[in-house]
């Protein structure tokens, strides 16, 4: 068995004395693991960093086997990830969520394209962080828990949607949701309109929205009880900035 693809390196862990087991995310083969022989060598170790874009060849005697990778780096994102702490935590959150939420070896071209786009434009900027939150919404869609934000679940109207039902994942208008506002999740405008102004607190509100469904709907299906630590650190950084506790997210 053999296939060739391009993918994002999600993680590496030691395997034996000189090799590593790498987990790669690609469009056509999804989340896929394999052994990289000599992965701790001086040639390979510096480039086998999470976020690296790799050209990979996977080989195994049988499809069900772990198999091995031959890899060639095509793009390193290390410098971009180290620009600011928020960039590093956001990227680590992406890698951890992909590892935890995606089924193994299932093609995911839509989510792969979204992931590459987010990582290729990573920066300490509200616009990029909004794209990160949209990426979490895309992840929910990919794993079967997509939110319906097109119209109000109660009335069918398409205007003034400011809530999401935690039960159905559907949007709710301000008028219909008013009596139940304490039981509904808040919906920031930038998730409905890319051109909407991002207000203070909107990014955290968006993360709490997607985080609710990741934690209560997605994680249990994988036997997990909590979200990745990197995601928690990212949300904490953003909350501190909103409170004025930090001036930037460096």
Task: Tell me the pLDDT band of 246, cut-offs 50, 70 and 90.
Answer: very low
- Residue where a domain terminates, one of 21, 44, 76: 76
- Same domain, yes or no, for 126 and 199? yes
Does one domain contain both 66 and 84? no
Residue 247: is its pLDDT beyond 70?
no
Q: What pTM, to 2 d.p., does this model score?
A: 0.93
Residue 167 placed within a domain: no
Q: Is 90 exceeded by the pLDDT of residue 222?
A: no
Instruction: Give dist(CA 53, CA 200) in Å, integer.
Output: 34
CA atoms within 13 A on the CB side of 117: 14
Q: Residues of the chain with pLDDT > 90: what percent? A: 89
Same domain, 142 and 223: yes
Residue 116 maps to a domain: yes
* Total tally of structural domains belonging to the chain: 2
Cα–Cα distance, 193 to 207 (Å, whole number): 16
Nearest alpha-carbon partner for 112 in 183, 234, 29 = 29
pLDDT tens for each residue of 138-188? 999 999 999 999 999 999 999 999 999 999 999 999 999 999 999 999 999
Answer yes or no: do 211 and 233 share one domain. Answer: yes
C-alpha to C-alpha distances, 155 to 130, 150, 161, nearest whole angstrom? 28, 12, 11
Q: What is the pLDDT of residues 54-73, one digit of tens each?
A: 999 999 999 999 999 999 99
Q: In terms of residue numbers, what domain contains 67?
A: 2-76
22, 47, 76, 186 from 13: Cα distances, Å: 7, 14, 19, 39
Q: Indicate if 122 and 214 belong to the same structural domain.
A: yes
Give the N- to C-terminal CA distance of the chain in Å, as an integer.
45
Is 174 within a domain?
no
Q: Is 63 in the same domain as 93? A: no
- Do 33 and 106 have their domain in common? no
**Given this model, what pLDDT does residue 223 score?**
87
Segment 60-108, tens digit of pLDDT? 999 999 999 999 999 999 888 888 999 999 999 999 999 999 999 999 9
């Amino acid at each position: 068995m053999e296939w060739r693809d391009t993918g994002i390196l999600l993680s590496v862990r030691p395997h034996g004395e000189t090799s590593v087991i790498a987990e790669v995310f690609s469009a056509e083969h999804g989340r896929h693991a394999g052994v990289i022989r000599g992965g701790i060598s001086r040639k390979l170790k510096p480039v086998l960093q999470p976020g690296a874009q790799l050209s990979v060849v996977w080989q195994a005697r049988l499809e069900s086997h772990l198999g091995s990778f031959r890899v060639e780096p095509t793009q390193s994102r290390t410098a971009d990830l180290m620009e600011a702490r928020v960039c590093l935590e956001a990227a680590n959150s992406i890698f951890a969520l992909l590892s935890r939420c995606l089924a193994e070896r299932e093609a995911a071209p839509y989510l792969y394209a979204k992931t590459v786009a987010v990582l290729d434009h990573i920066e300490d900027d509200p616009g990029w962080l909004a794209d990160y939150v949209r990426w979490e919404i895309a992840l929910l869609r990919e794993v079967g828990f997509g939110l319906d934000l097109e119209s109000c679940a109660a009335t069918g109207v398409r205007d003034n949607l400011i809530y999401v039902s935690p039960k159905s994942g559907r949007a709710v208008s301000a008028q219909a949701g008013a009596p139940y506002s304490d039981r509904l999740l808040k919906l920031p405008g930038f998730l409905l309109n890319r051109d909407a102004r991002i207000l203070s607190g909107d990014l955290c509100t968006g993360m709490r929205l997607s985080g609710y469904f990741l934690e209560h709907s997605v994680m249990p299906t994988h036997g997990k009880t909590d979200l990745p630590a990197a995601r928690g650190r990212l949300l904490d950084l953003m909350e501190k900035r909103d409170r004025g506790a930090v001036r930037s997210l460096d």
